[in-house]
Amino acid sequence: MNNKANNYILDFTHVYCDEDMKDNPRFHWIDCSDIEGCDLYCSDEAAAEIRKRIMPYGIKGIHFIDSGNFHYVTKITTDQIKRPFSLVVFDHHTDMQRPLVDGMMSCGDWAGLVLDQNPNLKQLILIGPEAADIFQIDAVRKDRLLTFSAEELKNGTARKKSANILSGVPFYISIDKDVLSTRFTETNWNQGDMSLDMLEHLLGIILSHETVCGIDICGECQPDLPLPEYMEGEEKNERINHELIDFFDHIFLTIPHPFLIIDDIIPVCKLILIKHCCIIEIIRINRSIVPALGIEICLIIRIIKFSSMAGIYFVKSETAFIRCQPIQVTI
């Protein structure tokens, strides 16, 4: 299997052609529009063909896999991981329904199949469905399953459960954008109400503590919408896709910790001890209280220069945090 980080786009519906994704030189374009028997449900023949087309590119990298109708591609991809791993799924749905068509994988049951069939899966961490939907998951599947419902993310009870996340193995991250509010994106399924800040906040926590072996993103809009609605949906999706690309870019930096997480607002003139000496800039701040996983305010800062020296950083101005401007530091 290819161990190089390869970004790619799976084009099932040509929806990415109406964004500027196709011309991005950093992504391999894989045309899948000729594969039959793969929309919503995936036949064995279609799964074999998809596997054949993606296998040369390996697991590592950022993979866009079209609308939520094709979220089952995550199972096809993670079946290639030949060592213990954990799977993190952001989704408004559980994707663990009992199949309506026996012997045929679908976008609605693929996550359950990963739990049932993949012996290398250590834990599936499901983030974003409503509590009522999580309650419907078969109890037999819950021994390797950890869930964070939309309600738990809002009321702060997710913090207690976060201690149950198992570490020590690579994490594969799968994002269905239907976990987000329609203020941020338009998908072809009913959506949650998570904000982009919340999504990136949670991703930042994972990235700061775990090794990530691959990422996929689905949740494009429905191609056959009336033209004005389709154009609006495409504009939102193009914007959110680029936002996520920029956010994830730093995973594959050679710096040991491409993200550092600071758990509290830092008062003026407070000294910050940082493991690696570097120059940093703030790329996002969530100003609202974020109850998820118990962190009230999270700053995500990006390393832009790395040094082997150990040091102390002196933050000169708290307003830098509020305005999300690069901070001035002295070493």
DSSP 89-152: EE-SS---PPPSSTT-EETTTHHHHHHHH-TTEEEEEEES--HHHHHTS-GGGGGGEEEE-HHH
Region of poorest pLDDT, from 48-52, 120-124, 233-237: 233-237
- Name the CA dihedral angle for 56, 59, 62, 63, rounded to a multiple of 10 degrees: 60
Q: What is the pLDDT of residue 266?
A: 34
Check pLDDT > 70 for residue 128.
Answer: yes
Strand pairing partners for 41? 106
Check pLDDT > 60 for residue 259.
Answer: no
Check pLDDT > 90 for residue 16.
Answer: yes
Starting from the edge strand earliest in sequence, which strands make up the sheet with 299-306, in order? 259-262, 299-306, 278-285
Q: What is the pLDDT of residue 93?
A: 97
Local confidence band at 272 (pLDDT 50, 70, 90 cut-offs): very low
* Vertex 163: Cα angle to 159 and 169 (nearest 5): 130
Residue 166 · residue 86 · CB < 8 Å: yes
86: Cβ–Cβ under 8 A, 6 or more apart, which residues? 121, 122, 123, 124, 125, 165, 166, 169, 170, 171, 172, 210
Q: What is the pLDDT of residue 256?
A: 37
Q: What is the pLDDT of residue 250?
A: 57
* Token pair 């023949």: residue: 45
- What digits encode the pLDDT tens for the residues 57-112? 999 989 999 999 999 999 999 999 999 999 999 999 999 998 777 779 999 999 99
Local confidence band at 271 (pLDDT 50, 70, 90 cut-offs): very low
- Name the CA dihedral angle for 256, 85, 176, 61, rounded to a multiple of 10 degrees: 50
Percentage above 90 pLDDT, the chain: 55
Check residue 294 and give left, alpha or beta (phi > 0: left; psi -120 to 50: alpha).
left
Check pLDDT > 60 for residue 125.
Answer: yes
Helices (H), the chain: 44-54, 73-78, 110-117, 131-135, 150-155, 158-161, 196-209, 227-248, 319-323
AA identity, residue 196 = L
Check pLDDT > 50 for residue 242.
Answer: yes
Q: At what angle do helices 227-248 and 196-209 cross, to 10 degrees?
A: 30
Start-to-end Cα distance in the chain: 44
Local confidence band at 20 (pLDDT 50, 70, 90 cut-offs): confident
- Rounded Cα–Cα distance for residues 183 and 199 (Å): 14
Q: Please report, for residues 97, 276, 301, the alpha-carbon distance to residue 109 in angstroms, rounded to integers and kept in the order given.
A: 5, 43, 37
Q: What is the pLDDT of residue 2?
A: 66
Higher pLDDT: 212 or 68? It is: 68
Look at residues 248, 190, 215 and name the one whose alpha carbon lies nearest to residue 87.
Answer: 215
Q: Token digits for 29?
A: 């374009």
pLDDT mean over 260-276 = 31
- What digits encode the pLDDT tens for the residues 143-201? 999 999 999 999 989 988 998 999 899 999 999 999 999 999 999 999 999 999 999 88
Q: What is the pLDDT of residue 268?
A: 26
Q: Which CATH superfamily is domain 8-252 in?
A: Ureohydrolase domain (3.40.800.10)
Residue 176 · residue 70 · CB < 8 Å: no
Q: What is the pLDDT of residue 85?
A: 97
Region of poorest pLDDT, from 17-21, 54-58, 224-228, 260-264: 260-264
Check pLDDT > 90 for residue 278.
Answer: no
- Rounded Cα–Cα distance for residues 215 and 28 (Å): 15
Tell me 240's DSSP state.
Answer: H
Instruction: Enumerate the CATH 3.40.800.10 domain ranges in the chain, comma separated.
Output: 8-252
Specify the DSSP element, H or E, that contains 156.
none
Percentage above 70 pLDDT, the chain: 74
Q: How many residues does the chain have?
A: 331
